[in-house]
């Protein structure tokens, strides 16, 4: 069988063998959590608790502040100690609620729906929203917004993303193997909430056990088709996944809803299932801890707000030779300056890389080899955009389509001159948005 | 004479006359009236086309000034000279802008401010701020990659050995480009008559500031105490002292400040263009690295 895929892309070393076979372990209850308020794309929620207040696990501690915003819940039971800025993994500081745990982990959330598959789609969307479900792949976009497209746009399929194309990461892989039934149940809920009769679960072919487990679970449910995808990065990027599975291309500047699709991560599907069937808010997630700098790599079910350091300590400690600590995968993740940042809803992995695992060479001038053009999954010309960026000609970068760059880093990976383009591209996007210019 | 020559000359001559007449008519009908003052005003401005005023070039500003939509003081590089000339040309009362100067409100150089990580990205403050905010542990402090110095059209900023920008007050026209470039808003414009400013913008709590920088304001409040500042000009707000530009009894506060946060500028000798260093009276506080060299 020919495996489905998209145009362009690269084949970085997977390095998933360190954790792929390791079952998800439940991390120790943290003594203290710092839960950042803004864990969703859109508006920041507003605190609903005050210092000194007692909270139970799963209780709402911050309320959504607008349509594109979701509530935040306590991830342990205990006492609110502080509300203020703390270092966050996305860089800099942001407001967070600090809870000192009492070790009791008292349940503070309500009941689920008796029969989610018969529930009103509106009720499902409301449950998903109040449970604080956002995209767990990393973008943290509120799930209920994606499922309710603006008037005039009609969805016809749900795509559940189990590609997990980033090297090192195996959290989604383990979720699919161990919780295939929940993934499928979550997919059914997503279909009902979005009002569609068709769903695909895209899985890269390097995870045969996940494909088998999901296929077995999906056989009973109607309209769900597991799809084996070619192993290629960035197979799990939204637009690339849509192109690979349903063969539609999302136009520049448009959303998946414009081609009738909605993409959700497998972890998100499980969170959706837990939200509607058990009433359980999103206060824990599966995180891969891996890389040469970690004593004992593994996959953990961990509470939101747990410090990176806590989880690294349980994973056999962080090697002093660690050259780089990353949240997320090595391709698109965010480098960290400290272990004292909390795990957030978008933390798919914590990767500690040794010097030998990083290709940090000196930048040399571009020799126009054109490799970046071949691999760019968005069909852009990174070399030309880079040239415009170097000159500070943001308009030209915009005309070359820098706004469509998904920052996957494929061009950086293949660059023979060791150039790091993405930062400049991000700068160009910022400058263009500041100018408020129309799309070129 | 051959009739061919005659006819040719007559036809071409008639055509020339007719077209010329048309040109003359159209010239009158579609004439664009140009205010003769625009030319004069444009040449009175700094003529740098720096764009500081917000108009696309000096000529556009000149047109706006003549139309009464803009003021000559918007031409920061032109300074008082431009304001005076424009007022003369337009027969108006000259309104001088208060002369300002850019100051760098961070003293956390390499030797005193801690780094929290090694930064490997593009050497540019705006880009660094986009990915995890550079290497400095202080979230408020200068990133030290010189975006401001690169942006200054007058060469009035340069990076010193400590990795901090220094303002050459003689060259600074207070155009404010550096203020907009700095992603952390560390550079500010202050009136030239203001003799002291705070070399720190961190609104962090004192304990946190101390952890990351030896010269950061910890908001200890000493400068605001009546013993140190009898005039009561200083109040602490959001972990930073605030004071008026005309704060007079600042010497004691500057000396008592445990982190030496206050920077005393060198007064400008009157009658000369700013920045004559050697003759400048008044001192700098001990250990002050902000005193610019010549």
Helix or strand run (H / E) with residue A173: helix A171-178
Q: Work out the average pLDDT over B110-128.
A: 84
pLDDT in tens, A31-48: 999 999 999 988 999 999
Q: Is A425 within 8 Å of A394 (Cβ atoms)? A: no
Distance CA A422, CA B286 (A): 44
Contacts of B116 in chain A (CB under 8 A): 337-338
For residue B269, pLDDT over 80 is answered with no
Q: Work out the average pLDDT over A309-332.
A: 94
Q: Is B254 within 8 Å of B230 (Cβ atoms)? A: no
Helix or strand run (H / E) with residue B159: strand B157-159
Residue from A339, A332, A415, A405 nearest A371 by CA: A415
- B133·A91 Cβ contact <8 A: yes
- Cα of B230 vs its chain's centroid, Å: 33
- B132·A335 Cβ contact <8 A: yes
Nearest CB neighbour to B116, from listed A334, A338, A427 = A338
Residue from B70, B73, B67, B75 nearest B51 by CA: B75
Distance CA A204, CA A376 (A): 19
Name residues whose C-beta falls within 8 Å of residue A208's C-beta, 6 or more positions apart in sequence.
none
Share of chain B above pLDDT 90, in %: 22
Distance CA B72, CA A211 (A): 72
Nearest CB neighbour to A423, from listed B127, B135, B137 = B127
pLDDT bracket for residue B285 (50, 70, 90): very low
Six-digit token string for B142:
């200068």
- B116·A337 Cβ contact <8 A: yes
Nearest CB neighbour to B127, from listed A335, A337, A427 = A427
- Please say whether the dihedral angle defined by the alpha carbons of residues B99, B145, B207 and A84, taken in this order, is positive or negative: positive
- B124·A427 Cβ contact <8 A: yes
- A420·B121 Cβ contact <8 A: yes
Question: Phi-psi bin for A393: left (phi > 0), alpha (psi -120 to 50), beta?
Answer: beta
Distance CA A165, CA A206 (A): 10
Per-residue confidence (pLDDT) for residue B186, from 0 to 100? 94
Q: Is A332 within 8 Å of A306 (Cβ atoms)? A: no
Q: How far is A275 from chain B (nearest CA, A)?
A: 32
Residue from A116, A138, A118, A143 nearest A128 by CA: A143
Q: Is A300 within 8 Å of A289 (Cβ atoms)? A: yes
Q: What angle do CA A248, A182, A154 make, to 5 degrees?
A: 30
* DSSP three-state, residue B263: strand
* DSSP three-state, residue A308: helix
Q: Work out the average pLDDT over B222-242.
A: 86
Per-residue confidence (pLDDT) for residue B267, from 0 to 100? 63
pLDDT bracket for residue A56 (50, 70, 90): very high
- A427·B130 Cβ contact <8 A: yes
Question: Phi-psi bin for A155: left (phi > 0), alpha (psi -120 to 50), beta?
Answer: beta
Residue A189: is the preceding peptide bond cis (ω within 30°)? no
- The top-scoring range by mean pLDDT among A277-286, B148-157, B222-231 is A277-286
Helix or strand run (H / E) with residue A267: helix A266-278
Q: How far is B116 from chain A (nearest CA, A)?
A: 6
Residues of B with CB under 8 A from a CB of A: 116-117, 120-122, 124, 126-127, 130-133, 135, 137, 139
Per-residue confidence (pLDDT) for residue A52, from 0 to 100? 96
pLDDT in tens, B193-225: 888 899 999 988 888 888 889 899 998 988 888
| Closest alpha carbon within chain A to B118 | A337
Name residues whose C-beta falls within 8 Å of residue A128's C-beta, 6 or more positions apart in sequence.
A143, A144, A147, A193, A272, A275, A276
- B132·A92 Cβ contact <8 A: yes
pLDDT bracket for residue A437 (50, 70, 90): low
pLDDT in tens, B27-57: 888 888 778 888 888 888 877 887 778 888 8
Q: How far is B132 from chain A (nearest CA, A)?
A: 4
Q: Work out the average pLDDT over B281-289.
A: 37
* DSSP three-state, residue A431: helix
Nearest CB neighbour to A423, from listed B116, B131, B137 = B131
- A337·B117 Cβ contact <8 A: yes
């Amino acid at each position: 069988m020919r495996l489905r895929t998209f145009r362009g892309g690269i084949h970085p070393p997977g390095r998933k063998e360190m954790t792929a076979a390791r079952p998800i372990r439940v991390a120790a209850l943290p003594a203290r959590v710092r839960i950042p308020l803004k864990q969703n794309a859109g508006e920041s929620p507003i605190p609903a608790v005050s210092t000194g207040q007692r909270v139970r696990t799963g209780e709402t501690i911050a309320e959504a502040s607008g349509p594109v915003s979701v509530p935040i819940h306590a991830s342990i039971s205990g006492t609110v100690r502080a509300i203020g800025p703390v270092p966050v993994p996305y860089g800099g500081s942001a407001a967070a609620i600090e809870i000192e745990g009492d070790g009791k982990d008292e349940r503070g959330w309500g009941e689920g729906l008796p029969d989610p598959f018969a529930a009103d789609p509106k009720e499902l969307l409301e449950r998903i929203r109040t449970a604080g479900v956002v995209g767990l792949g990393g973008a943290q976009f509120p799930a209920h917004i994606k499922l309710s497209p603006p008037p005039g746009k009609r969805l016809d399929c749900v795509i559940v993303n189990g590609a997990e194309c980033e090297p090192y990461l195996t959290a989604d892989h383990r979720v699919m193997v161990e919780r295939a039934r929940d993934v499928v149940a979550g997919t059914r809920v997503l279909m009902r909430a979005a009002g569609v009769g068709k769903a695909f679960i895209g899985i890269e072919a390097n995870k045969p056990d996940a494909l088998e487990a999901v296929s077995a679970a999906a056989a009973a449910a109607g309209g769900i088709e597991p799809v084996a995808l070619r192993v290629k990065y960035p197979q799990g990027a939204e637009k690339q996944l849509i192109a690979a599975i349903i063969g539609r291309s999302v136009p520049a500047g448009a959303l998946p809803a414009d081609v009738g699709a909605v993409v959700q991560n497998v972890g998100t599907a499980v969170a959706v299932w837990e939200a509607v069937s058990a009433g359980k808010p999103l206060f824990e997630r599966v995180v891969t801890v891996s890389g040469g700098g970690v004593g004992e790599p593994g996959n953990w079910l961990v509470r939101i707000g747990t410090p990176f350091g806590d989880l690294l300590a349980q994973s056999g400690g962080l090697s002093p030779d660690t050259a780089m600590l990353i949240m997320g995968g090595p391709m698109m993740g965010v480098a960290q300056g400290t272990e004292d940042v909390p795990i957030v809803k978008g933390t798919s992995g914590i990767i500690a890389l040794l010097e030998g695992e990083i290709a940090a060479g000196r930048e040399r001038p571009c020799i126009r080899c054109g490799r970046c053009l071949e691999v760019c999954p968005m069909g852009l010309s990174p070399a030309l955009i880079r040239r415009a960026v170097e000159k500070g000609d943001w308009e030209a970068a915009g005309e070359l389509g820098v706004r469509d760059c998904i920052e996957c880093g494929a061009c950086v990976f293949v660059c023979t001159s060791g150039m790091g383009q993405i930062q400049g591209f991000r700068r160009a996007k910022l400058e263009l948005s500041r100018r408020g210019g129309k799309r070129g | 004479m051959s009739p061919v020559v005659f006819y040719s000359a007559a036809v071409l001559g008639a055509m020339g006359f007719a077209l010329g007449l048309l040109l003359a008519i159209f010239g009158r009908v579609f004439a664009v009236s140009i205010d003769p003052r625009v030319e004069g005003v444009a040449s009175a401005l700094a003529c740098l086309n720096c764009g500081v005023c917000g108009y696309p070039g000096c000529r556009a500003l000149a047109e706006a000034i003549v139309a009464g939509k803009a003021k000559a003081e918007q031409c920061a590089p032109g300074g008082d000279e431009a304001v005076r000339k424009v007022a003369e040309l337009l027969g108006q009362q000259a309104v001088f802008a208060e002369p300002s100067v850019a100051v760098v409100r961070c003293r956390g150089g390499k030797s005193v401010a801690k780094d929290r990580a090694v930064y490997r990205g593009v050497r540019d403050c705006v880009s660094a701020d986009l990915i995890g905010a550079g290497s400095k542990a202080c979230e408020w402090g200068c990133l030290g990659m010189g975006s401001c110095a690169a942006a200054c059209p007058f060469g009035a900023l340069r990076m010193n050995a400590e990795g901090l920008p220094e303002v050459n007050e003689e060259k600074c026209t207070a155009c404010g480009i550096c203020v907009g470039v700095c992603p952390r808003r560390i550079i500010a414009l202050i009136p030239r008559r203001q003799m002291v400013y705070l070399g720190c913008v961190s609104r962090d709590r004192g304990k946190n500031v101390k952890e990351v920088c030896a010269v950061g304001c910890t908001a200890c409040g000493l400068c605001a105490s009546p013993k140190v500042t009898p005039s009561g000009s200083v109040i602490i707000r959001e972990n930073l002292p605030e004071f008026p530009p005309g704060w007079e009894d600042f010497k004691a506060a500057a000396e008592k400040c445990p982190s030496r946060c206050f920077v005393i500028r060198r007064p400008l000798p009157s009658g000369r263009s700013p920045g004559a260093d050697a003759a400048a009276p008044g001192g700098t506080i001990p250990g002050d690295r902000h005193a610019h060299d010549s």
